[in-house]
Structure 1
Amino acid sequence: MARTVKCPSCGAELTVKDDNRDFMFCEFCGTKVRLDDYQETHRYVNEAEVQRVKAEKELELKRMEAYTKREEQAGKQFITLMSICLGVALFCVLISRFM
């Protein structure tokens, strides 16, 4: 027999069609909803896992920022080197014309 439960995260009405299930996922927000014998819903959050994922995302963002900064510096160094080379080449051409 189907029953309805409320998602503890977004409040959506969810239909439980299989009473043999221990949990289900909210089809609207993705929250894992545990179903117990009392037909109540509970939301379990693994806070350590949430913090680990958050730290990994921040670390990856820092890596990307560092990579971008290195690429910008390499680009500036390349432009500077090319300017020097072009200046030397121009100087050599000018010197060779006057000699």
Structure 2
Amino acid sequence: MARTVKCPSCGAELMVKDGNRDFMFCEYCGTKVRLDDYQETRRFVDEARIKESENQKELELKRMEFEERARKDKDKGFWIVLVGLVVFMIVCYITCQ
């Protein structure tokens, strides 16, 4: 007997043709959907992938902060060199007169 279940991830209607299965994969989003005896669906949560995703986001934020700090340091260095050059030119101008 075929039945339909709803994917807990994307909400797609899925046709379950074999009643002896414990799980199936959503044909639209690929989520592994567990089929229990009460004809309900449950989504498996992959804690390792969630943690990996969180770590990737944190790493990307740290990389962006590092690049911003490097850019500011580069800008600061430019201004220090420019001020030093101006002071040097003023001193040269004063001593040459």
**TM-score (norm: length of structure 1):** 0.67
**CA shift in 2, pair 1:23/1:35, >3 Å:** farther
Contact 1:22 1:34 in 2 (8 A): yes
Cα separation, 1, equivalents of 2:78 and 2:69: 14
5+ long unaligned stretches in structure 1:
none
The DSSP-based 3-state class of the residue aligned with 2:17 is coil
Cα separation, 2, equivalents of 1:44 and 1:37: 12
Contact 1:8 1:33 in 2 (8 A): no
Aligned pair count?
A: 92
Report matched runs for 1:2-81 at 5 Å.
3-9=3-9, 12=11, 14-17=12-15, 19=17, 22-24=24-26, 30=29, 32-34=31-33, 36=35, 39-81=39-81
**TM-score (norm: length of structure 2):** 0.68
5+ long unaligned stretches in structure 2:
none
CA RMSD for the aligned pairs?
Answer: 3.1
